[in-house]
């Protein structure tokens, strides 16, 4: 540079500058547009428009230096490789098991949402064809556009719902299944149409036979060579729980690139090969997880935005303002509008037929109308094959951006998946009869959480035929290597399964089955479930299952765990726990394990590690809920319980309904257990919060388990006992545990005593159904 050279005349410096410029502008634009509810697709496309002839590209010097025809050649080639690998990665992550037993709503929405826009658009096209502009009249562009917009692309919908944190919501699952149904059908029809076109262009029967033989050979290779080889690499060569080795990863990536080359060479679109190969390989661990870890997070994340930005770069909005293009603009927009409105009407009609609320049906229709990179790739293909002119290209890309730019904010505005839980009838332990069926939703994030939770349940559930316990066990894992979330009943892996031995879910559920077998017949029933979802929306699965199974209490493990030598924390689990506390339709308990997990994970014993429990009762709904749970402990057989009632000296009370309710439940508890030698009731009178802390410190070491109410939020119900903890929350480290729970969970205090913090779902967050 200092010797007078021009670095941007060389390919590598120019490529680095182009990629850096696109990524920097995309990052800046995303900071602004995401506050307006816009997706990454819209951001990348608008960055391309900014760099293109509409804005900055109007300058000949800018275009000549950075984005000349020679300068974009390498950039386009690299971005096409990113598109191929993206399609392959999405194929690997696609769960075809969604098609085995799809819901009637998903099938109806998918089919109706595809047929209605076709039934509306194609007749209008044929009726208006003589009056259309010449370049549209004799072209197949309108027909292909109608087919493309009538379908929903599974990779696009999955990526958009992941950004919106709606993958594991009810509507999100319906949208994914419906889009997968139409997408798989479209890929099949696309391959058949390409074959028909090539055969129609054939000059001899031998050429026709070569086309058919080539495609059949590729399909057979994928099904009978690539698929077994992929399963061998995934389940035989790769240790359980590990990612692919470097050599295996390279083999898989090369196979994806060669599949695009082969399908393109035999006359089919290059996108068909990677998608077919990806669908044939097993998703999840390890292939899908490896793609996410090594491919999606770097190469695809780096160069796929470049592909979309280049598509936006080719869009020239200035051309659309000219008078001679207005007729083309109006004609194309007419058919785009017909397709979009037809799909909206078809999806909403199908949803209403299945008794969905109109608002939910409208949101579902908006989800299935989201457009993205697959539609842009189709438009690029129409431009490459001369089916679409430069004006057509600009009109269609702008339309895709506008459709998505309108749909995603509307989805955020209209759909609150947590609202159904907040509107549900709340279920509490306080209102549950002692002899009623206790429904506990027990959540686990790993095998290490099983032992302390099982020991707690064994010691405190008090299950019997007269007072049964229904355990809904939910194993929660992060969604890795798959595009669609999972919430389903657990089924043990078959012994001869090629995926190896028992899974972590199998071992967890076996431990709870053992608990069920050790209890009296009919006293404990276990219903096992597994869920795979992004951490950011995992609480939806917990609340949804609690709502559908009518759980009285959700039992969660604390996000910090300790083995005595060191402690580890998982902030993702903490975020899930806090979201469950906010949105759960029933009471929630968090178990802080300080020594219950003795021995190996998932081990069960007939002799409980818990013998002595204490409940600190200060008053309020959370403390009453904790007392309702603790009242079942003496019935377990070998558990002693001490209830410590705190009173403030010289407090005369305010005579509120909450204080009266506290006295009522304490009286009922003592009346029920006054003749039980294992139950002790103690009252402690203190001057202030410091006195409360002093009593807690002096008594806690005598017990194995401490039970407290969370006492969180701004509840006026806590006014009467607020002075008992006033000031203790100033140095709170874990607000989700409440004042006493946070103090007890601190590392230097009661390190060998486990804590159970219980919250009764506040009335202010719910209304009766």
Cα–Cα distance between 438 and 708 in angstroms, integer?
Answer: 20
Paired strand residues for 591: 557, 756
What is the model's pLDDT at position 6? 82
Residue written as tokens 């929903």?
A: 152
CB 83 within 8 A of CB 296: no
CB 457 within 8 A of CB 470: no
Give SS3 for 139: coil
Pick the closest to residue 296 from 29, 157, 480 (CA basis).
480
* The two three-digit tokens of residue 432, written as one number: 């549950």
Q: Which residues of the chain have a pLDDT value below 50?
A: 596-606, 714-717, 765-769
Neighbours of 26 (CB within 10 A): 21
Pick the closest to residue 369 from 171, 149, 187, 163 (CA basis).
149
What is the model's pLDDT at position 212? 82
CA–centroid distance for 384 within its chain: 36
What is the model's pLDDT at position 603? 40
H helix runs in 354-503, sequence order: 358-368, 373-384, 390-414, 419-422, 450-460
Distances (CA, A) of 545 to 164, 328, 450, 487: 21, 52, 19, 9
**Helices and strands (H and E) in the chain: how many:** 29, 13
Give SS3 for 20: helix
Pick the closest to residue 419 from 538, 652, 585 (CA basis).
585
Residue written as tokens 């992004």?
A: 534
CB 457 within 8 A of CB 518: no
Interval 381-427: pLDDT, tens: 999 888 888 899 999 999 999 999 999 999 999 998 887 777 777 88
Terminal-residue alpha carbon distance, the chain: 73
* The two three-digit tokens of residue 613, written as one number: 């429990």
Interval 100-132: pLDDT, tens: 888 899 999 999 999 999 999 999 999 999 888
What is the model's pLDDT at position 599? 38
What is the model's pLDDT at position 456? 87
What is the model's pLDDT at position 712? 60
Distances (CA, A) of 38 to 45, 160, 337, 406: 11, 10, 21, 8
Cα–Cα distance between 563 and 582 in angstroms, integer?
Answer: 29
Distances (CA, A) of 446 to 217, 476, 477, 556, 621: 44, 8, 8, 12, 31
């Amino acid at each position: 540079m200092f010797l007078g050279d021009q670095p941007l005349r060389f390919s590598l410096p120019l490529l680095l500058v182009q990629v850096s410029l696109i990524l920097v502008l995309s990052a800046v634009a995303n900071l602004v547009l995401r506050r307006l509810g816009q997706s990454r697709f819209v951001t990348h496309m608008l960055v391309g428009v900014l760099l293109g002839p509409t804005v900055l590209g109007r300058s000949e010097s800018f275009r000549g230096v950075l984005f000349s025809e020679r300068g974009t050649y390498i950039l386009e080639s690299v971005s096409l490789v990113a598109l191929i690998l993206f399609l392959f990665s999405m194929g690997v992550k696609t769960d075809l098991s969604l098609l085995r037993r799809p819901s009637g709503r998903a099938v109806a929405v998918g089919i109706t949402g595809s047929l209605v826009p076709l039934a509306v658009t194609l007749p209008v096209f044929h009726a208006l064809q003589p009056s259309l502009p010449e370049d549209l009249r004799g072209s197949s562009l309108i027909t292909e556009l109608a087919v493309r917009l009538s379908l929903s692309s599974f990779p696009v919908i999955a990526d958009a719902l992941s950004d919106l944190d709606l993958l594991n919501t009810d509507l999100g699952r319906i949208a994914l299944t419906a889009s997968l149904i139409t997408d798989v059908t479209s890929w099949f029809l696309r391959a058949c149409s390409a074959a028909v076109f090539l055969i129609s262009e054939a000059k001899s029967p031998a050429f026709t036979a070569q086309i058919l033989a080539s495609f059949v050979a590729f399909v057979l290779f994928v099904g009978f060579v690539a698929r077994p080889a992929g399963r061998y690499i995934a389940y035989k060569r790769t240790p359980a729980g590990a990612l692919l080795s470097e050599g295996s990863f390279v083999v898989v990536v090369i196979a994806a690139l060669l599949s695009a080359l082969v399908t393109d060479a035999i006359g089919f679109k290059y996108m068909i090969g990677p998608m077919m190969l990806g669908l044939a390989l097993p998703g999840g661990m390890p292939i899908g997880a490896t793609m996410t870890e090594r491919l999606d997070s770097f190469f695809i994340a780096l160069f796929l935005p470049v592909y979309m930005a280049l598509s936006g770069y080719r869009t020239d909005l200035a051309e659309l303002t000219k008078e001679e293009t207005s007729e083309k603009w109006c004609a194309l927009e007419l058919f785009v509008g017909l397709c979009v409105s037809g799909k909206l009407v078809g999806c909403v009609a199908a949803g209403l037929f299945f008794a969905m609320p109109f608002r939910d049906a409208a949101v579902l229709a908006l989800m299935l109308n989201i457009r993205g990179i697959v539609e842009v790739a189709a438009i690029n293909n129409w431009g490459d094959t001369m089916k679409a002119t430069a004006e057509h290209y600009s009109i269609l890309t702008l339309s895709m951006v506008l459709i998505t730019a309108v749909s995603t904010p509307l989805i955020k505005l209209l759909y609150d998946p947590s609202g159904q839980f907040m509107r549900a009838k709340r279920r509490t332990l306080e209102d549950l009869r002692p002899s009623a069926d206790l429904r506990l939703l027990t959540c686990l994030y790993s095998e290490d959480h099983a032992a302390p939770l099982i020991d707690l349940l064994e010691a405190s559930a008090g299950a019997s035929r007269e007072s049964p316990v229904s355990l809904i066990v939910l194993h929660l894992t992060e969604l890795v290597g798959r595009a669609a979330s999972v919430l389903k009943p657990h089924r043990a892996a078959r012994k001869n399964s090629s995926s190896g031995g028992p899974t972590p879910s199998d071992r967890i559920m076996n431990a709870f089955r053992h608990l069920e077998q050790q209890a009296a017949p009919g006293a404990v029933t276990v219903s096992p479930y597994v869920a795979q979802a992004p951490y950011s929306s995992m609480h939806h699965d917990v609340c949804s299952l609690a709502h559908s199974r009518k759980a009285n209490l959700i039992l969660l493990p604390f996000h910090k765990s300790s083995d005595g030598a060191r402690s580890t924390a998982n902030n993702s689990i903490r975020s899930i726990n806090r979201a469950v506390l906010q949105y759960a339709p029933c009471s929630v308990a968090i178990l802080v394990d300080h020594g219950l997990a003795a021995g190996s994970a998932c081990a069960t014993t007939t002799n409980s590690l818990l013998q002595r429990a204490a409940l600190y009762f200060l008053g309020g709904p959370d403390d009453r809920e904790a007392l309702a749970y603790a009242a079942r402990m003496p019935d377990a057989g070998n558990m002693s319980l001490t209830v410590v009632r705190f009173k403030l000296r010289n407090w005369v009370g305010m005579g509120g309904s909450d204080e009266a309710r506290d006295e009522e439940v304490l009286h009922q508890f003592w009346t029920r257990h006054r003749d039980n030698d294992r139950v002790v009731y103690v009252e402690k009178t203190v001057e202030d919060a410091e006195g409360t802390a002093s009593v807690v410190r002096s008594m806690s070491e005598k017990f194995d388990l401490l039970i407290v109410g969370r006492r969180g939020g701004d509840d006026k119900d806590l006014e009467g006992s607020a002075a008992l903890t006033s000031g203790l929350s100033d140095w709170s480290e874990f607000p989700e545990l409440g004042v006493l729970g946070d103090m007890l969970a601190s590392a230097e205090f009661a390190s060998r005593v486990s804590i159970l913090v219980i919250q009764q779902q506040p009335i202010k967050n719910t209304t009766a159904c």
